[in-house]
């Protein structure tokens, strides 16, 4: 409380100090606002990344299922494997 009182006294005695204090307060508010915007953008991008990762995992799972189905079909049908097959 004493510090705040001293700052008020100093600002009344020295208008340059008061102006500088107001300027710094405005800058701090600006940077707090920018920080909030940046955090919101980070959160948005992280959500997109999660969605893309889930889509990739779903596609990888589907590919594995199709490969397994293909391999089982060839083995059950008695068809020879194609020469360029990876299975």
Q: Any idea which of 5-9, 10-14, 77-81 has the lowest mean pLDDT? A: 5-9
Dmax of the chain from CA atoms?
98
Asked whether the predicted pLDDT for residue 1 surpasses 60, the reply is no
**Dihedral pair phi/psi, residue 78, rounded to 5°:** 75, 10
Token digits of residue 19: 């102006």
The ranges assigned to domains in the chain are 2-77
Q: What is the pTM of this model?
A: 0.60
Question: What is the distance between the alpha carbons of residues 55 and 85, in angstroms, rounded to a whole number?
Answer: 26
Which residue do the tokens 């307060």 mark? 25
pLDDT value of residue 23? 96
pLDDT in tens, 47-85: 999 999 999 999 999 999 999 999 888 888 877 666 665
């Amino acid at each position: 409380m004493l510090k705040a009182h001293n700052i008020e006294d100093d600002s009344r005695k020295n208008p340059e100090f008061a102006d500088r204090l107001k300027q710094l307060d405005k800058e701090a508010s600006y940077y707090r606002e920018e920080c909030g915007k940046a955090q919101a953008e980070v959160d948005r991008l992280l959500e997109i990344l999660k969605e893309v990762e889930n889509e990739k995992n779903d596609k990888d799972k589907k590919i594995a299922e199709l490969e397994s189905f293909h391999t089982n079909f060839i083995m059950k049908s008695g068809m020879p494997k194609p020469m360029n097959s990876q299975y």
